[in-house]
Structure 1
Amino acid sequence: MTAFVALIRGIGPGDPRKSNESLRGVLEELGFTGVKSVISSGNVIFESDSDNDSDVDALGNRIEAAWPELRGFTALTVVRSAEQIAHLLEQRPFGDVEHGKASYQFVTFFKQPLAAPPEPPADFPVAVNRIVDGALCNQVDTTSTGGPEVMKWLDKTFKKQTTSRTPLTLARILKKMEG
């Protein structure tokens, strides 16, 4: 069995259809095993008999198609294996800089890997803007622009076909996948 994580866009507390229990229930209904949640923002770990990373698109599409059918909502779903998450983190896209307000770091995932980073607006203090394993890695000084402004830019640029996580969240996900 291979460990994967479903990174689900737009999940937060307040909607019972999107609770951790409900999200896990969908993956269990689809026949996946070892289903676990990591924080309440749409990170669901599961195991599948798929044995290679090339199946992540098919797994993501299968899970994404189940949301409206089984829970009545739509949500972009990107799947990555534990190996893919580990490799991305091993690349250290932010170097030795610690995550904080002046160096807010996030990794944006796409259904289809991105080939080149988009050019951010000139008024965004983006210190890192590069692609690592098909994901966009940004580091922004949120003390001057605020994180939401950057997310609005990404949503407009990519028409909400993304989902983002901090490297700290990705490390928590990986730890739970390996544990």
Structure 2
Amino acid sequence: MQTYIVLLRGVNVSGQKKIIMAELRKIIENIGFEDVKTYIQSGNIILKSTIKDPKEVASKVRNEIFASFGFDVYVLVKKYDELKLIFDNNPFTSPIDIENKKVYFALLEKEPKLEIIDEFRALKFVNDQFLVKNDCVYLNYLNGAGKAKLTNNLIERKLKVSATSRNYRTMIKLLEMAK
């Protein structure tokens, strides 16, 4: 039985794509996943499955959300070790920035093409620091995420891959729940 961390993009944001987490847990259990847990309202799920391919897990969850709630959401699935590696490679480790909720992770569907990454690295954002490494854009929003210019939508558009972002504390909690 494999433990997966399932991340939904864009649910329960500004009244859009509303999903009650208790309902979400129920529908996910009904399609055969076990030990389903959710964390906060932004679409963070921990589950267990005998399915070996994370993309198959993502597809099943995405299809069931569409069937149950009537809208499509991007679903990213990671194994514990994958998410832990991403977390451990975070270059933004200032306790002050972490405490002030400035450190984020934009988790990418796949590693972008090298030439696209090079173009992206050339971008300058006065108050947003970032590092692209493998399938993550590490972010340090010096003025906070609410004032950031380097948004998840911009990351997706420039890198030409789907992404979903989580803050430092959420990453810690997901790793704790999945362990």
**So what's the TM-score if we normalise by structure 1?**
0.81
Work out the CA distance in 1 between the residues paired with 2:6 and 2:157.
23
Work out the CA distance in 2 between the residues paired with 1:26 and 1:157.
34
Letter of the 2:124 partner, please give it: A
Kept in 1, the 8 Å contact 2:90–2:138? The answer is no
Correspondence for 1:29: 30
Kept in 2, the 8 Å contact 1:35–1:45? The answer is yes
Work out the CA distance in 2 between the residues paired with 1:162 and 1:19.
22
Superposed displacement of residue 26, structure 1: 2.3
Kept in 1, the 8 Å contact 2:129–2:139? The answer is yes
Q: Percent of counterpart pairs with the same letter?
A: 17
Is 1:129 the equivalent of 2:127?
A: no
Work out the CA distance in 1 between the residues paired with 2:111 and 2:145.
30
Letter of the 1:70 partner, please give it: S
Correspondence for 1:56: 54
Label 1:154 to 1:120 Cα distance change in 2 as closer, same or farther (>3 A).
farther
Is 1:164 the equivalent of 2:165?
A: yes
Superposed displacement of residue 33, structure 1: 0.3
Correspondence for 2:98: 99
Kept in 2, the 8 Å contact 1:124–1:150? The answer is no
Kept in 1, the 8 Å contact 2:84–2:175? The answer is yes
Is 1:83 the equivalent of 2:84?
A: no
Superposed displacement of residue 32, structure 1: 0.1
In the alignment, structure 1 segments of 5+ residues that lack a partner are: none
Superposed displacement of residue 92, structure 1: 3.3
Work out the CA distance in 2 between the residues paired with 1:108 and 1:96.
18
The CA deviation string for residues 72-119 of structure 1, in whole angstroms up to 9 with x for no partner, is: 111000001111112222223324453255x72211122223355423
Aligned residues: 172
In the alignment, structure 2 segments of 5+ residues that lack a partner are: none
Correspondence for 2:174: 173
- What RMSD over aligned residues (CA atoms) do the two structures have, in Å? 2.8
